A and B are shown apart, each in its own frame.
Chain A
Amino acid sequence: MLDKKIIRELKRIVGEDGVLDRREDLLLYEYDGSVERSLPDAVVFPRSTEQVAGIVRLTARGKIPLVGRGAGTGLSGGALAAAGGIVIGFSRMNKILEIDLENLRARVQPGVVNLDLTRAVEASGYFFAPDPSSQKACTIGGNVAENAGGPHTLAYGVTVNHVVGLEVVLANGEVVELGGSVSGSSPDSPGYDLTGVMVGSEGTLAIITAITVRLMRASEAVKTLLGIFESVNDASETVADITARAITPAACEMLDGLSLKAVEAATHAGYPLDAGAVLLVEVEGLREAVEVQAGQIDEVCRAHHAREVRVARDARERELLWTGRKNAFGAIGRLAPSYYAQDGVIPRSKLPFVLRKIDEIGRRHGFQIGNVFHAGDGNLHPLILFDERDQEQFRRVVAAASEIMRLCVEQGGSLTGEHGVGMEKREMMPLLFSDDDFAAMEKVKRVFNPDGRINPEKVIPLSKTCKEMTVRPVVMRRGD
């Protein structure tokens, strides 16, 4: 519990209406899009960097934990107050501070919704490349914290490739500018790449208060193909072959038969109901390149026994297919009372093998597993369907998930491609890293966040031996 005096002081900084501390209000901030819950002691809504700095200074003496939060769409518990304390909600810091098209830059507050930035520049022919499926809700501050991906990061890179500078508040309340200025370019800034290490640190190093991003010129042409397959195996062989032939689509997504049924029932996007799997592949660029690539992809699909390869006829059909894909996680909620989403990554040549293994793991544990994922970069999202009310199932789903994670690591992959480690996968990190690796991460943390009160109990594990995930899976209905 927080001292009443602290609450009064918080209200003095952000205004009476900017602080929540009643239990019924706090319950809304107990969860995010993930599997964990943790109740904060208060939530504050600053309007400016100065107010954030004020909050950080106020809470420094009591070493009160602070956690930044955007839209709460995260999938690993990154925005939860794991150790209690204060959640800093960025919903009032949602201004686009500057758009500088001539220099291909924008500067935004952390609470700006991802898609709003693209909306602000698309009429002029530009876009912000990272496009997580939750982009209609998730914030750029959250994207930076998690180093968010999305379907089109296959061609354009993830968030870190599009962030050139950050303004952050350090644990002592000091405001520091990292990397380039509004128009500068961080790779060339002399000195250590502090921006680069801050992106993807899951909010555990400092509180981000402003972000300078690159904008990109929209492509001349885009073509969306839907490859329809009888089996997941054929579809995954196709992806491995597209990669091996070094064809580089802008996006390459897979939906398996189970998820197709749910997606189609939810969105009526025109996905086939009787297919084993589909690949949603998009090519972008100049007309000439798009034509050639689309032809190559069509050819590879057919070489792997695609039943049919469709091309979206117009923008509306394309939009529908993407709406289906981006809302797929939510649609899966139709199939079972709960599901548990994984975020493993594997080398792309291993896709056919690993998907067969995941199916086996599901069967052995008695679960159906849906697969909706970024196939082109090997980023799997197996969705394990279960009933959370059944304690026995609940125990087994965690065991099955851990087995899938171990499989990804054994195959030369990683525990997370875009959702983050957060609270969820923290104790599995020893599968990937040694004590010395963690010690090096701790060093970085000490520099920025010496007493560890900024987003505590995330990313770096307590125990250096791997444990199972210690999570309590719940239903999720937000995007990935």
Chain B
Amino acid sequence: MPAATSLLEQLSGIVGATEVIVAPEELRRFSVDGKVPGAVARPGSADEVVEIVRLARSDRLALMPAGGFSDAQLGNIPRQLDVVVSLARMNQVLAYDPADLTVSVEAGATLAALEETLEAHQQFLPVDSPSSAATVGGILATHAGGPLRYGYGTVRDFTIGMQFVTGEGKIVKTGGRVVKNVAGYDLAKLMIGSLGTLGIITSANFRTFPVPPRTATLAAGFASLESALEMRRKIVHSVLQPRALDLLDREAARTLRGDTPEVEQTAWWLLVGVGGVEALVARHATEAEKLAKESSASSFLELAAEPERQMWEGVRAFRERLAARYPAMIVVRASLPLTQLGAWLKKAQEVAARSGLLLAVVARAGTAVGYACLLAKEAGRATIGKMAQASTELTHSAMSLGGRAVIEFVAADVIEVKQQCHVWGPTRQDFLLMQKLKREFDPDGVLNPGRYVGGI
């Protein structure tokens, strides 16, 4: 690695001296898994991103594209980390056509800022990712999402175009600004979820959605997982069309709602989020209550307005809330067949109990994505070992149930978990194709080396 002064000079030559950070105390804020970068550069345009990539290629620097740093711990420990390329300055809405329900936005725009723009026209992007400090680029690169994916799909389903800079330093455009388009290969699909290992996303185009005139959330409490999943099954296979269908265990509910008697008496909560005209919301409430009774629910609540908003805010940010209570925490996310979610959650309970770890569960019940949060009051070598062992077991369990799991979050205090297991799980037959794609798009390996699947 070149001396910091020359790196500073070179980066300053590209983005301007005020947009380069090299002060050690500031750089620590940008560390990933304990690795501190040599510099942070804040380009103001795709052309400047190109220049940074060219510099990285010639000087063998490792770049980490970054947005709001809200999900920076995802992935393996970086093999090398020289320059964090912060897209924070590229935060403009490039074009918003409310009458077409499309928006084009730079990658560094935060979800919160974009939401504000769209809200003025009663529209929104159904990406309720864990943090609203997350940027558009970060959400795409990590394929982040939240409870609303049940009703709207993930960001993959409403991204209509994208611009990115490849690891070769070329600006590439894919898709467009219309809602239906099959001209050329859909390279945006490759970029979404690729953790910035193929290119640095500089802007993206989305379709937007109308804000429903009314929303409400029906919360049914259950004594057993089986009953909660029975109600889930009834809803999924009914004509009802909720926007969100989430499951919380007692520990998760405690974190979100506090230790109320109701929370303490309820093992599982099924949350049914609905939106639409008044009559539609009312119909969902009536039918959900009926289904809850048929599934032996112990309680049934209807939330609206502020309590509803707060509840979903908590569900979105559950990881952050839990992390505030438990310094030692990892989150294993499994995507399963609908019929196997219950089996995997039972496995998580069994593994946690056996390892002496606490467990909190949040699940996108309607799409069978489970988040098992393994928690301990104290870190330390024993905890780390238990967590690594438990997560490996849960990853294998997901695979044997026909799904896939990844370790989505590892708290700083137990970061060594990442050294003891594969956070992305074992690779499969199609991994060779992924390696080849990586070589084509980033031949010198300058983009996020080592952090992705199979060490890509």
Between A and B, 6 residue pairs with Cβ closer than 8 Å are A161-B157, A191-B453, A218-B239, A434-B173, A441-B185, A447-B433
- List, in ascending order, chain B residues with CB within 8 A of A413's CB: 176, 178
- Contact residue among B178, B185, B198, B434 (Cβ-Cβ distance under 8 Å from A412): B178
Highest count of chain A CB atoms <10 Å: which of B177, B183, B406:
B183
Q: For the complex, is B153 an interface residue (Cβ under 8 Å from A)?
A: yes
Query: How many angstroms between the C-alpha atoms of A448 and B434 in the bound complex?
Result: 10
Asked, given contacts A157-B157, A378-B180, A459-B185, whether A176 binds B433 with beta carbons under 8 Å apart, the answer is yes
Q: Are B339 and A103 in contact (CB under 8 A)?
A: yes
Query: How many angstroms between the C-alpha atoms of A132 and B184 in the bound complex?
Result: 20
Q: Are B283 and A417 in contact (CB under 8 A)?
A: no
- Contact residue among B277, B429, B431, B441 (Cβ-Cβ distance under 8 Å from A440): B441
Chain B residues 418-447 with CB under 8 Å of chain A are 424-425, 427-431, 433-434, 436-437, 440-441
- List, in ascending order, chain B residues with CB within 8 A of A189's CB: 335, 404
Asked, given contacts A286-B239, A444-B440, A447-B433, whether A160 binds B337 with beta carbons under 8 Å apart, the answer is no
Query: How many angstroms between the C-alpha atoms of A113 and B427 in the bound complex?
Result: 34
- List, in ascending order, chain A residues with CB within 8 A of B280's CB: 285-286, 288-289, 292
Q: Are A348 and B180 in contact (CB under 8 A)?
A: no
- List, in ascending order, chain B residues with CB within 8 A of A412's CB: 176-178
Which 3 A-B pairs rank lowest in CB-CB distance, beginning with the nearest?
Answer: A196-B189, A183-B337, A188-B335
Closest to A153 in B: B180
Asked, given contacts A194-B434, A246-B122, A414-B176, whether A441 binds B97 with beta carbons under 8 Å apart, the answer is no
CB distance from A239 to the nearest CB of B (A): 11
Chain B residues within 8 Å of A, Cβ to Cβ: 97-102, 122-123, 143, 153-154, 156-157, 166, 170-174, 176-187, 189-190, 192-194, 198, 209-210, 236-241, 276-277, 279-280, 282-283, 333, 335-340, 367-369, 402-404, 406, 424-425, 427-431, 433-434, 436-437, 440-441, 453-454
Asked, given contacts A161-B157, A217-B239, whether A429 binds B368 with beta carbons under 8 Å apart, the answer is no
- List, in ascending order, chain B residues with CB within 8 A of A111's CB: none
Highest count of chain A CB atoms <10 Å: which of B123, B237, B453:
B237
Closest to A161 in B: B157
Q: Are B184 and A421 in contact (CB under 8 A)?
A: yes
Closest to A448 in B: B433
Query: How many angstroms between the C-alpha atoms of A437 and B166 in the bound complex?
Result: 10
Closest to A219 in B: B239
Q: For the complex, is A407 an interface residue (Cβ under 8 Å from B)?
A: no
Q: Are B154 and A184 in contact (CB under 8 A)?
A: no
Q: Are B181 and A416 in contact (CB under 8 A)?
A: yes
Q: Are A147 and B182 in contact (CB under 8 A)?
A: yes
Q: For the complex, is A102 an interface residue (Cβ under 8 Å from B)?
A: yes
CB distance from B336 to the nearest CB of A (A): 8
Query: How many angstroms between the C-alpha atoms of A243 and B406 in the bound complex?
Result: 39
Query: How many angstroms between the C-alpha atoms of A244 and B189 in the bound complex?
Result: 28
Closest to B233 in A: A102
Query: How many angstroms between the C-alpha atoms of A420 and B172 in the bound complex?
Result: 20
Query: How many angstroms between the C-alpha atoms of A447 and B156 in the bound complex?
Result: 22
Query: How many angstroms between the C-alpha atoms of A191 and B280 in the bound complex?
Result: 39
Q: Are A437 and B184 in contact (CB under 8 A)?
A: yes
Query: How many angstroms between the C-alpha atoms of A407 and B437 in the bound complex?
Result: 35
- List, in ascending order, chain A residues with CB within 8 A of B170's CB: 436, 439-440
